[in-house]
Structure 1
Amino acid sequence: MTQPGFLFTGTPLELTDGEAYHLRKYWKKGRQAHSIQSLAAFDVDVDLDALRTLVQLDCANCHLAHVASCCEGGFPFPPAAELLPVLDEHLDGIAALLPLDVIRHLLRKGLYERHLETAGHRTIGTFDGNCNFCIVEKNGPACMAHRYALQSDLNPMSVKPLSCLLYPLDLIYSEEDGRTLLTALTERTAAFSRWGPDYRLDYLCANVELRENLASADSPNIRENLPPDVFAPDSYRPAYVEGRQLLTELYGAPFYDELHTLIQGGRRP
């Protein structure tokens, strides 16, 4: 009999055997230490080095701090089947922001591709090595789906796939007991995170310690001598606070309020 697996919420992708191994250990230890606590159908990682880890999602200044954004050089996670119609609904609006050569590519190839890396599931295709929606400019966000949403006064959640919006949060569903782990990318979760360790080493968004000591950066993707107001350390916020709008849209304001109370160590009603 096949052992029940784990799914990255918002995609059809299962964790690899190696990722699942590290996740089981982390989840079990967290439950035993009470750093992972129950909230509705979720197990919430309230540890200081988890949902309270300091992050800053300053996409508008991404290229001032990094040589390449996280949207470059690949393709997004494949959206879950129920999320695919969202992209199709807004494709005309997004296409209005794309260069003609990308539009011609979309007309010829279509929006989606299948990759071995995504277990053959459909995901947004690529043009010139980048996601079809990624247009590299001096100012962000580089994702034209995100920019279209902002310019149209739409919630990005109504346009973009969930996995493109979650960073640096992680939602992982257990097929064994039907519970979902809510955590965030840290050095300790990177072994099973959908984002992996490179997101902490190559970008400042989820690594305030690296921003505070740029001299320690080994990644050629991080620029030196940043202006003090670019990813300013005092502007970083806990991951669950940075993701408040997303979590509220997904699960409702009462859920977020209970989450906040739980993380702050207070009593829930």
Structure 2
Amino acid sequence: MRRQQRYRYVGTPDPMTQKEAYQCEKYVKKNRDSLVRAGEYLVDVPALLSLFHLDCWNCRSVHGETCCEGGQPYAVQKQQMSILEEELALVAAQLGEEKERTHWMEYGIWDIAQPPGTIRMRHGNCLFYQELDGRRGCAIHAYAERTGKELFPLKPFSCQLYPLDLIDTGDAILLTAVTPDTSSFSRWGTDYLEHFYCASKERRQQADHVNAELFSLDGYRPAYEWNMPLLRYLLKEHAEQIEALLAERSVNVPC
């Protein structure tokens, strides 16, 4: 079996490239002593303790665009396509403009010119990136919050995962986060590390022109803490063990 077929990003049908798969394989071999096995998972403790500050509502005020602008990061899997199609009318109903609601229902969700599971672009952005109550964000996320619907099976998986990553190596599922050491094979690449304050406390410390309340330096926390609800949903019976492990190790992480 080719390396590229064996290594894949969890939660999307989009394949890793041969180069990404090679870099991931090399990383796992090099860091095997620091990876903790928990059931089918390889827990990348150092990466998961890397500091982030997901001050998402203030992103647009300090950056030219947010991570939600443009298109979705990765296509969704077939089972999630069905869930989104079933909920489309209800998600669309919360939109303020009737013209926009009609457009959604007439043209649907998917970009048929792209691989299955690719959400259509609308005005240069993901279809679901909308203005609601005077703020722009994900219409799916807003719908889940308003209705009490469970978010995790509904919102595109890769849109929920940042800054974490889940990679099926064929032998185990690597649970990691985007760092300078993992960016060569992470689905997030180097862009966040190089351009966004959420992924670099060092870069934020140098940004003297930014209001201290935006991406505040005391708001940086280990990567895994930002996504614990999602991890509990995904990891199931292994969640408590992994969370306890990371919490114990995070005590020694410098702020």
TM-score of the superposition, structure 2-length normalised? Answer: 0.87
Q: For residues 147-194 of structure 1, give each alpha carbon's deviation from its aligned partner in whole angstroms, at most 9, with x where no partner exists.
A: 11122233421420111100010000123x2x1000001111111111
Which AA in structure 2 matches 1:5? R
Report SS of the residue matched to 1:37.
strand
In the TM superposition, 1:145-156 aligns within 5 A as 145-156=140-151
Q: How far is the alpha carbon of 1:137 from its aligned partner?
A: 7.6
Q: Which runs of 5+ in 1 are unaligned?
A: 216-224
Q: Which residue of 2 aligns with 1:132?
A: 127
Which whole-Å CA distance do the structure 1 matches of 2:135 and 2:152 have between them? 18
Q: Which residue of 1 aligns with 2:166?
A: 171
The structure-2 alpha-carbon separation of the partners of 1:136 and 1:66, relative to structure 1 and needing over 3 Å to count, comes to farther
Which AA in structure 2 matches 1:202? H
Which whole-Å CA distance do the structure 2 matches of 1:149 and 1:195 have between them? 25
**Is 2:132–2:139's contact at 8 Å kept on the other side of the alignment?**
no
**Is 1:63–1:140's contact at 8 Å kept on the other side of the alignment?**
no
Which whole-Å CA distance do the structure 1 matches of 2:104 and 2:187 have between them? 27
Partner of residue 237 from structure 1, selected from 221, 229, 236: 221
**Is 2:80–2:153's contact at 8 Å kept on the other side of the alignment?**
no
**Is 1:19–1:191's contact at 8 Å kept on the other side of the alignment?**
yes
**Is 1:102–1:127's contact at 8 Å kept on the other side of the alignment?**
no
Which whole-Å CA distance do the structure 1 matches of 2:154 and 2:233 have between them? 13
Which whole-Å CA distance do the structure 2 matches of 1:123 and 1:73 have between them? 13
The structure-2 alpha-carbon separation of the partners of 1:46 and 1:15, relative to structure 1 and needing over 3 Å to count, comes to same
The structure-2 alpha-carbon separation of the partners of 1:115 and 1:174, relative to structure 1 and needing over 3 Å to count, comes to farther
- Paired residues in the alignment total 247
Q: Which residue of 2 aligns with 1:221?
A: none
Q: Which residue of 2 aligns with 1:210?
A: 203
Question: Bigger shift: 231-240 or 57-66?
Answer: 57-66
Q: Which residue of 1 aligns with 2:91?
A: 94
Partner of residue 110 from structure 1, selected from 96, 105, 108: 108
Q: Which residue of 2 aligns with 1:22?
A: 23
**Is 1:208–1:233's contact at 8 Å kept on the other side of the alignment?**
yes
